[in-house]
């Protein structure tokens, strides 16, 4: 079995590569290595497993299609893309080229050269935009009022930011290419994913990023009031889902919301409090103005994916945070050098 992972030297891609190799798959990764930490992840992969890798920009259809035509992978795990809302606001063209055009290129490559390849696309909760549900708050977090439920796949799309637009358009292309061209595609609308090999930045990978800053005793920037809530899913649980989907037949054109659900949700302030307890020291932070596209609360309703794929999160947020702390401490010098913090 052959898997091609776009963004294969990124956080999700590199963790998936390690998992699928253990299952006996032949690993091919494709990345442009523009993201900080990707070269570190590639070096780590080459030390641990056998891979074949390509340096290619996902927006380059000719090079991408040649690779897919040559490999004809059983599974394409499409993780490549621009990942930050703030960067989409400052450079929407690059965001579009990476997320929308890049995904279109993957789909066209499959349609024209490898029609039997299964595609899993990692979309985002940002396609739901600024959630228009009734919410309340206490001193630590926002929460949906009792009459409101977590976000399921039928919630209206409202992209709200260039990032939401680019991922949302790609999301719909993936679904419709299955309907029209009979491709085997699945869309995963992901909430907050965290774990090792995640070189987080200020506007993406916030659990790992805040953990890095806390361990390095750097001041944390909080945009908004800090009561923003997300459900968090540890990377190992997501990779298990990737594998379940790879083995599942007849999941064409399905969309699943994927996250940690209410049991694994937390706010920025709650994360800081947990870090202070686990690290046994004060964590310094300062509040700044809200940013465009920020959601006050998002919690995934994972009923559909749990029922249809017999999957649910196994790693609790406290366990996952312990693993992130361990990874950061083991790689502290590399992290500081790579991210310049």
> How much is the pLDDT for 132?
67
Q: Which two tokens stand for residue 171?
A: 């999301």
> How much is the pLDDT for 87?
85
> How much is the pLDDT for 293?
67
State the sign of the Cα–Cα–Cα–Cα dihedral 125, 154, 297, 281.
negative
3-class secondary structure, 103: helix
Q: How far apart are CA 307 and CA 251, in angstroms?
A: 13
> How much is the pLDDT for 146?
67
> How much is the pLDDT for 282?
96
> How much is the pLDDT for 126?
87
Per-residue confidence in pLDDT tens, the chain, 341 aa: 999 999 999 999 999 999 999 999 999 999 999 999 999 999 999 999 999 999 999 999 999 999 999 999 999 999 999 988 888 888 999 999 999 999 999 999 999 999 999 999 999 998 988 776 788 999 999 998 866 679 999 998 988 788 889 999 999 999 999 999 999 999 999 999 999 999 977 778 899 999 999 999 999 999 999 999 999 999 999 999 999 999 988 777 899 999 999 999 999 999 999 999 999 999 999 999 988 767 889 999 999 999 999 999 999 999 999 999 999 999 999 999 999 88
CA proximity to 215, closest of 316, 339, 317, 315: 339
Q: Which long-range contacts (CB under 8 A, 24 or more apart) does 55-63 make?
A: 55/31, 56/30, 56/31, 56/32, 57/32, 57/102, 58/6, 58/7, 58/30, 58/32, 58/98, 58/102, 58/103, 58/105, 58/106, 59/97, 59/98, 59/101, 59/102, 59/105, 60/105, 61/105, 61/108, 61/109
181 catalytic residue (yes or no): no
> How much is the pLDDT for 119?
97
pTM of the model: 0.95
User: Which one of 128, 142, 160, 163 is the catalytic residue?
Assistant: 163
In order of 24, 143, 241, 269, 274, the CA distances from 139 in angstroms are 49, 11, 35, 9, 15
**All domains of the chain in start order, with CATH:** 2-339 (3.40.50.720)
Q: How far apart are CA 107 and CA 67, in angstroms?
A: 13
> How much is the pLDDT for 330?
97
Q: How far apart are CA 40 and CA 250, in angstroms?
A: 37
Residue showing tokens 């963004």: 7
Residue showing tokens 């050098």: 337
């Amino acid at each position: 079995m052959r898997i091609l992972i776009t963004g294969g030297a990124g956080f999700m891609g590199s963790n998936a590569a390690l998992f699928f190799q253990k299952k006996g798959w032949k690993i091919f990764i494709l990345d442009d290595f523009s993201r900080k930490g990707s070269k570190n992840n590639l070096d780590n992969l080459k030390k641990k497993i056998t891979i074949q890798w390509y340096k290619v920009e996902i927006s380059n259809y000719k090079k991408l299609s040649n690779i897919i035509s040559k490999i004809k992978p059983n599974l394409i795990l499409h993780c490549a893309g621009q990942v930050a809302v703030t960067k989409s606001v400052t450079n929407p063209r690059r965001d579009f080229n990476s997320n929308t055009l890049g995904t279109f290129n993957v789909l066209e490559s499959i349609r024209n050269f490898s029609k039997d390849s299964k595609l899993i696309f990692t979309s985002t909760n940002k396609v739901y935009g600024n959630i228009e549900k009734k919410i309340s708050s206490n001193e630590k977090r926002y929460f949906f009022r009792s009459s409101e439920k977590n976000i399921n796949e039928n919630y209206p799309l409202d992209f709200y930011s260039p990032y939401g637009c680019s991922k949302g358009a790609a999301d719909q292309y993936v679904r419709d290419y299955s309907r029209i061209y009979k491709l085997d595609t699945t869309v995963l609308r992901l909430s907050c994913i965290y774990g090792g090999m995640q070189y987080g930045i200020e506007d993406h990978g916030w659990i790992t990023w805040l953990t890095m800053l806390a361990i390095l005793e750097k001041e944390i920037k909080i945009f908004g009031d800090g009561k923003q809530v997300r459900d968090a899913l540890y990377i190992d649980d997501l990779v298990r889902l990737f594998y379940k989907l790879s083995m599942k037949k007849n999941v064409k054109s399905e969309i699943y919301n994927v996250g940690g659900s209410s049991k694994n949700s937390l706010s920025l302030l709650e994360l800081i409090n947990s870090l202070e307890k686990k690290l046994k020291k004060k964590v310094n932070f300062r509040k700044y103005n809200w940013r465009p596209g920020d959601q006050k609360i998002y919690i995934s309703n994972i009923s559909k994916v749990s029922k249809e794929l017999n999957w649910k999160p196994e790693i609790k947020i406290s366990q996952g945070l312990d693993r992130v702390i361990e990874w950061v401490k083991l790689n502290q010098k590399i992290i500081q050098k790579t991210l310049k913090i």
